[in-house]
Amino acid sequence: MSADVLTAITTQTRLKLAKMKEQPWDWALLAIVLSLVGFGIVMLYSASAVMAAQKLGDHLYLVKSQLTKVMLGVVMMFVALRVDYRWYKRFIYPILGVSFVMLVLVLIPGIGAVQNGARRWFSIAGMSFQPAEVVKIVVVMYLAYSVSKKGEKMGRFSVGFVPHLMVVGTCVAFLMMQPDFGSSVILITMMGVMLFVSGARVAYLMIFAVLGACGAFFAITRSAYRMKRIMAFLDPWSYRTDIGYQISESLIAIGSGGVGGRGLGNGAGKLGYVPELWNDFIGTIVAEELGLMGIIILVSMFLALIWRGLKIAYESNDEFGRYLAFGITILFGLQGGANLCVVTGLLPTKGLTLPFISFGGSSMIMALFATGILLNISRNAPDEWESARPDREKRQEERRWQRKRKSILRKRKDLRDVYR
């Protein structure tokens, strides 16, 4: 038996054995995510029905819009589930470049849409899309690719720290121009966590944390509305009729819910007392209508989501998948925790959605897409592209020899014609 035949048989056998070890999707993660989405639809209706009926003439208006985004997000989730996650690392720099272009374009008047004084959205066919939500996932992909490739070199300042800071810092610079302080803080925090677990030196991270705190202090003190938000955070009752109105009313609504809540649909905050109740402050109506028990259930669902994500990361069969799953999980945890801390007055007010729950197309679509990536990683499928590399290289070598042979034959023919 020739060596080429043996190589082909070995490659096919290796692929078959790897597929035998392939796991099914993480059905528990899928069930948790779909439960969160369903819970969010119910709470969105409760939060928005009165406002939608009065101002839009249809009490189901926001629910219908959100269901459209959910269906699109589910399609994206199953697309991500079918695409081998390793393909992202093979095209990471073009993907990163496209995300940078989006951050630039959204700042251009006439292209980026302005809402509430911020230029953060593209308006396409009557639908708004926020590129910051895409950038969060892309940055996780880039960091996962970069730290998995560098390995033990992550301890070096010039290798494990500077390149990541430059890429994430560029994203943050564009986000601050919108301005989007909340997404900037999430990106920086996520980068710090991923660099820490990948082996970056703690001393560098401590210096970065101090410099980041100084930068945040500078950004806050140079902005009048951010300073007002800090003052409202420190003493919301003194600013109840001004910048502290939203958080004050949120705390009143949460307090009125008690342990068991006022009952689904019986909350008073949605009658115009708590602004943006269906969006960034949807956790308020959960606490008001379902009480402390409702918040415990919601937090427990997010903790279960984080547990499944970390389990997927731990069981991943390659470094890139491990860091990618970890980064997506940390992103969900950071944003969900930050949102709930804002509505309960533990953090200053920021425009961060509650993943899978809040009204918002960009957040919902990208969260479901990221869930699809997690599910794809959970299968631990073999990297067929890498496994088939010997066969691919052999075919490439054969094509090179064929081209060379044809070239030699053409030259010989030309010589015969010359001397004939």
For 134-181, the pLDDT digits (tens) are: 999 999 999 999 999 887 888 888 888 888 989 999 999 999 888 888
**What is the domain partition of the chain in residue ranges?**
22-40+67-387, 391-420
The answer, yes or no, to whether residue 387 has pLDDT greater than 60, is no
Q: What is the pLDDT of residue 3?
A: 45
Contacts of residue 161, defined as CB under 8 A and 6 or more positions apart, other chains included, come to 195, 200, 201, 204, 208
- Region of poorest pLDDT, from 35-49, 195-209, 315-329, 378-392: 378-392
Instruction: Tell me the pLDDT band of 383, cut-offs 50, 70 and 90.
Output: low
Cα distance between residue 165 and residue 200, in whole Å? 12
Q: Which of 186, 130, 74 is nearest to 363 (CA)?
A: 130
The answer, yes or no, to whether residue 323 has pLDDT greater than 90, is yes
Q: What is the pLDDT of residue 373?
A: 95
Q: What is the pLDDT of residue 377?
A: 93
The answer, yes or no, to whether residue 50 has pLDDT greater than 70, is yes
Per the CB < 8 A criterion, the answer to whether 331 and 136 are in contact is yes
DSSP states of 60-114 as a string?
Answer: THHHHHHHHHHHHHHHHHHHHHHS-THHHHHTHHHHHHHHHHHHHHTTSBTTEEE
Question: What integer best gives the mean pLDDT of the chain?
Answer: 83
Cα distance between residue 234 and residue 188, in whole Å? 24
The answer, yes or no, to whether residue 419 has pLDDT greater than 90, is no
Q: What is the pLDDT of residue 143?
A: 94
Question: What stretch of H or E contains 402?
Answer: helix 389-419
Cα distance between residue 27 and residue 265, in whole Å? 31
Per the CB < 8 A criterion, the answer to whether 352 and 182 are in contact is yes
Instruction: Tell me the pLDDT band of 2, cut-offs 50, 70 and 90.
Output: very low
The length of the chain, given as a count of residues:
420
In percent, the amount of the chain with pLDDT more than 70 equals 86
Q: Which of 103, 201, 102 is nearest to 152 (CA)?
A: 201
Greater pLDDT, 210 or 308: 308
The answer, yes or no, to whether residue 284 has pLDDT greater than 80, is yes
The answer, yes or no, to whether residue 391 has pLDDT greater than 90, is no
Q: What is the pLDDT of residue 413?
A: 64
Q: What is the pLDDT of residue 178?
A: 83
Contacts of residue 121, defined as CB under 8 A and 6 or more positions apart, other chains included, come to 106, 112, 113, 115, 128, 129, 130, 362
Per the CB < 8 A criterion, the answer to whether 251 and 245 are in contact is no
CA distances from 143 to 28, 71, 140, 168 (A): 27, 29, 5, 9
Q: What is the pLDDT of residue 5?
A: 41
Q: Which two tokens stand for residue 142?
A: 């880039």
DSSP states of 292-323 as a string?
Answer: HHHHHHHHHHHHHHHHHHHHHHHH-SSHHHHH
Q: Which of 33, 17, 111, 76 is nearest to 384 (CA)?
A: 17
Q: What is the pLDDT of residue 7?
A: 47
Per the CB < 8 A criterion, the answer to whether 157 and 201 are in contact is yes
The answer, yes or no, to whether residue 22 has pLDDT greater than 80, is no
Cα distance between residue 261 and residue 303, in whole Å? 22
Q: What is the pLDDT of residue 213?
A: 83
Cα distance between residue 370 and residue 352, in whole Å? 17
Residue 361: Cβ within 10 Å count: 20
The answer, yes or no, to whether residue 10 has pLDDT greater than 60, is no
Four-CA torsion 338, 343, 349, 354, nearest 10 degrees: 50
Q: The whole model's pTM is what? A: 0.84
Instruction: Tell me the pLDDT band of 369, cut-offs 50, 70 and 90.
Output: very high
